[in-house]
Structure 1
C-alpha cells in the first residue's frame, strides 16, 4: 500500500467527473477556503495480496455482524411469542430488559426490527400464521431486501491486519465516486496494466452481468433481492416499480446523486423506477397505505408505494410524526405493507456504534476473528474507564460528528456536532489512522470496503489532512486506487 502523489492529471477532469455524476466536488470550508473533494493526480497503489487481505476481512466481519445481530435480537423480550403476548398492550422493553431499548430505539419499532431481521428464515417466529393459542395474528414468511453497506477500516498495507472502525450499514455514501468515478479515472489514465487493475466490481454486483459462453453469469443484487421478494409476495408484478427517496435539505447534491446512481442500477437491472423527495412520502389514512404524493404541477395522482429505497436514517424516521403509522403498515399480516430498503434492522442492529462493543463481547477472546476488531465498550462501563487511549463515539452519529480521540489521557482532536446529545457513547481502543506524506502535508486514509448483497465488491478511500484528519468527516477527500501500477 503506497500513496503516489505525482500521478497523471487528466485534461478537463472536473468536467469529466461532473458528467459521470460527481456534481458535488467543489465546496467551501468553514474558514472560507475552497477545496476539491476529488484529488486528481494522487492515488493509492496496492498489491494483489493486500486486496485479498481486505476481501477476507470484509467477508469475515460481515459474518460476525450477522451473529452479533442475532445476539442483539435475543436480548429483546419481543423476540419470543410469549414476549409479544405480554407486550401486546403493555410495555415489556426497558434499558434493563432489552438491548434495543438500552441504545434508545423506541419500543414500538422492535417487532418490525426483529421481523425484518428474520424474514425468509422458515425456522423463525415469522413462519406461523398465528400464535399457538390462536390469539395474535402472525406474519407469514416474508423477505426484506438489502443491497449494500460499507465497512470503514484502519489498514496500513502488507504486514498489518485490517481493523474495523465502524459499519455504515444503512445509509453509506461515496458510492458514485467508488463505483464509477475512480473506475473511469483508472481506465483513462492507464496507470496499471494488472489483470485486476482495481478492486471494484460494485456496479456489476448491483446490475448483474452475462457470463461467457458456457459459463454462468450473475443476476445482480437487484434481481436477486426482488425475485426473493416476489416469492414471498407473489401478487407483486414481475417488474415492480421501485421508488428512490432522498432528503432535499442536503444541499450539496451528494445524497441526491448517490440515490440517483442506485436508481440507475436498478433501472439497468430492468425495473421501473422513480426519484422522489422524502417530503413526497405521504400517508393514506383511509386505506392505511404509504403513498407517493406528487408535487405541485406534476401530472399523475398520488399512488401507493409497494417498494421504496430511502437514503434517510431510520433513527431519525422513527422519532418523527407519522413513524408509528409506517411501522404499523409494515406489520400488515397480508403482506400488503410497503417494503422499505434498507430495512429497519440495518440501522437498529448493524448501523450504529453499539455494534462495536457487542462484537468485542462476542469475539474478543477468539484469536482468529478478534484480529479484525479493536477492544470496544459502552462508555459507562468499568472496562472503558481502564482505557487511556481511545476514540469516544456517539452510538447514533454520522460523518465523524462528536467523535473525540484521546491519547494517553490527553484529547488529540474532537469534532463538534449535535450527535451524542442523548448521552449514549461507546469507546474504542485508539488506533490512529496511518500517515502518508502528500504535497498538502501529512494525510490519513481510511478504507471504505463495500458490500453488495452481503459480498465484498470494492473499495473507496477517504483521507484527511493533519491532526484533524485523524477523524474522517464530510470534508475529507476521496482518493482513487489501483492494483500494482509499477510506479
Structure 2
C-alpha cells in the first residue's frame, strides 16, 4: 500500500465526475473557501496480497458481527414467547435486564428488531397469529432484505493487520464515488495492466451478471433479496415496485445521489422504482398502511408502499412522533406490512458503536479473529478506565461527530457535535490512522470496505489532513485506488 501524490489529471474530470453522479463535489470550508471532495491526481496502490488480506478481514468481521447480533438479541427479555405475550407495549425491558434498552432503543421497537433479525430462519422465527398479543412459531418465515453496508478499517499495508474502527451498517454513503467514479477513473487513466484494476465489484454485485465462460450467473443483491421476499410474501407481484426515500434537509445532494444510484441499480436489475422524499411517506389511519403521498392535498393519489429503501437513521425514526405506528405496521400478521430496506436490526444491532465492546467481549481473546479488533468498552465500565490512549465515541453518532481522541491522557483531537447528548459512549483503544505525505501536508486514510448482500465487494478511501484528519468527518476527501 503506497500513496502516489502525482498521478494523471484527466481533462474535464470535474464534468466527467458530475455526469456520473458526483454532483456534491465542492465542499465549503469554515473559512468560506471551496475544496474538491474528489482528489484528482493522488491515488493509492495496493498489491494483490494486500487486497486479499482486506477481503479476508471483511468477511471474517461480518461473520463475527452475525454472532454478536445473536448475543445482543439473547439479552432482550422480549425474545421469548413468554415475554412477548405480555403485550406489544408492555414494560418488560429495562436497562439492567435488556441490552437494547441499555443503549437507548425504545422498547416498542424491540420486537421488530428481533423479528427482522431472525427473518428467514425457520427454526427461530416467531410471528403473530390472529391474536396480536400471542406469538407462535410459523412454518413459513418472513424475510427482511439487507443489501449493503460498509466497514471502516485501519490499515497501513503489508505487514499490518486490518482493524475494525466501526461498522456503517444501515446508512453508509460514499457509494457513488466508490462504485462508479473511481471505476471510471481507473479505466480512463489506464494506470495498471492488472486484470482487476481495482478491488471493486460493488455495481456488479448489486445488479448481477449473466453466466459466461462456464461460470454460474450471479443474480445480484436486488434479485436475490426480492426473490426471497416473494417466497415469504407470495401476494407480491413478480416485480414489486421499490420506493427509494431520502431526507431533503441534507442540502449537498449527497443523500439524494446515493439513493438515486441504488435506485438505478434496482431498476437495472429489473424492478419498477420511484424516488421520493422522507416527507412524502404518509400513514393511512383507517387501514394501518404506509403510503406514498405525492404532496399536500394529494391524499387521493396516495399509493400503498410494499417495499421501500430508506436512507434515514432508524434511531431517528423510532424516536419520532408516529414511529410506533410504523413498527406496528411491520408486525402485521398477514404479512401486508411495509418491508423496509435496510431493516431495523441493521441500526439496532450492528450500526451503532455499542457493537464494538460486544465484539471485544466475544472475540477479544480469539487469536485468529480477535486480531481484527481493538479493545473496546462502554465508557462507564471499570475496564474503560484502564485505557490511557483511546477514542471516545457516542453510541449513536455519524461522520465523526462528538468523537474525541485521547493520547496518553491528553486530548489529541475533538470534534464537537449534537451526538452523544444522551451520555452513551464507548471507548476504543487508540489506533491512529496511518500517515502519508500529501501535497498540503500529512494525510490519514481510512479504508471503507464495502459489503453487498453480506459479501466483500470493494473499497473506497477517505483521507483527512493534519491532526484533525485523524477523525474522519464529512469534510474529508475521497481518493481512488488501483491494484498494482
TM-score (norm 1): 0.97
Partner of 1:76: 76
Superposed counterparts of 1:40-439, under 5 Å: 40-88=40-88, 90-126=90-126, 129=129, 136-138=134-136, 140=138, 141-295=141-295, 301-439=301-439
**Per-residue deviation, residues 265-306 of structure 1 (Å, max 9, x unmatched):** 000000000000000000000111000000269898101000
The separation in 1 between residues aligned to 2:217 and 2:89, in whole angstroms, is 50
The separation in 2 between residues aligned to 1:78 and 1:253, in whole angstroms, is 40
Partners of 2:127 and 2:333 within 8 A in 1:
no
Q: Using the TM superposition, give the Cα deviation of residue 136 of structure 1 relative to its aligned residue in structure 2, in angstroms.
A: 1.1
Partners of 1:406 and 1:413 within 8 A in 2:
yes
SS at match of 2:444: strand
Partners of 2:441 and 2:465 within 8 A in 1:
yes
Q: Using the TM superposition, give the Cα deviation of residue 395 of structure 1 relative to its aligned residue in structure 2, in angstroms.
A: 0.1
Q: Using the TM superposition, give the Cα deviation of residue 138 of structure 1 relative to its aligned residue in structure 2, in angstroms.
A: 4.2
The separation in 1 between residues aligned to 2:483 and 2:230, in whole angstroms, is 39
**Per-residue deviation, residues 85-116 of structure 1 (Å, max 9, x unmatched):** 23556301010000000000000000000000
SS at match of 2:54: helix
How many residues are paired up? 482
Partners of 1:243 and 1:276 within 8 A in 2:
yes
Partners of 2:146 and 2:225 within 8 A in 1:
yes
In the alignment, is residue 448 of structure 1 matched against residue 463 of structure 2? no
1:130–1:120: structure 2 CA closer, same or farther, 3 Å change rule?
farther
The separation in 1 between residues aligned to 2:353 and 2:24, in whole angstroms, is 28
Partners of 2:88 and 2:108 within 8 A in 1:
no
Partners of 1:244 and 1:276 within 8 A in 2:
yes
Superposed counterparts of 1:474-485, under 5 Å: 474-484=474-484
SS at match of 1:449: strand
Partners of 2:128 and 2:332 within 8 A in 1:
no
The separation in 2 between residues aligned to 1:22 and 1:38, in whole angstroms, is 9
TM-score (norm 2): 0.97
The separation in 2 between residues aligned to 1:102 and 1:297, in whole angstroms, is 42
Partners of 1:138 and 1:333 within 8 A in 2:
no
The separation in 1 between residues aligned to 2:355 and 2:28, in whole angstroms, is 34
Partners of 2:374 and 2:429 within 8 A in 1:
yes
**Per-residue deviation, residues 151-183 of structure 1 (Å, max 9, x unmatched):** 000000000000000000000000000000000
Q: Using the TM superposition, give the Cα deviation of residue 216 of structure 1 relative to its aligned residue in structure 2, in angstroms.
A: 1.2
The separation in 2 between residues aligned to 1:40 and 1:347, in whole angstroms, is 34
Partners of 1:129 and 1:139 within 8 A in 2:
no
The separation in 1 between residues aligned to 2:293 and 2:379, in whole angstroms, is 43
The separation in 1 between residues aligned to 2:70 and 2:83, in whole angstroms, is 16
SS at match of 1:58: helix
The separation in 1 between residues aligned to 2:443 and 2:242, in whole angstroms, is 40
Q: Using the TM superposition, give the Cα deviation of residue 213 of structure 1 relative to its aligned residue in structure 2, in angstroms.
A: 4.5
Superposed CA RMSD: 1.5
The separation in 2 between residues aligned to 1:188 and 1:291, in whole angstroms, is 44
The separation in 2 between residues aligned to 1:463 and 1:288, in whole angstroms, is 46
Structure 2 gaps of 5+ residues are none
SS at match of 1:347: helix
**Per-residue deviation, residues 330-353 of structure 1 (Å, max 9, x unmatched):** 000100000000000000000000
The separation in 2 between residues aligned to 1:87 and 1:138, in whole angstroms, is 14
28-37 vs 465-474, greater mean Cα deviation: 28-37
In the alignment, is residue 11 of structure 1 matched against residue 44 of structure 2? no
SS at match of 1:86: coil
Partners of 2:130 and 2:333 within 8 A in 1:
no
The separation in 2 between residues aligned to 1:399 and 1:169, in whole angstroms, is 13
SS at match of 1:368: coil
The separation in 2 between residues aligned to 1:31 and 1:213, in whole angstroms, is 56
SS at match of 1:382: coil
Q: Using the TM superposition, give the Cα deviation of residue 130 of structure 1 relative to its aligned residue in structure 2, in angstroms.
A: 7.8
The separation in 2 between residues aligned to 1:229 and 1:198, in whole angstroms, is 32
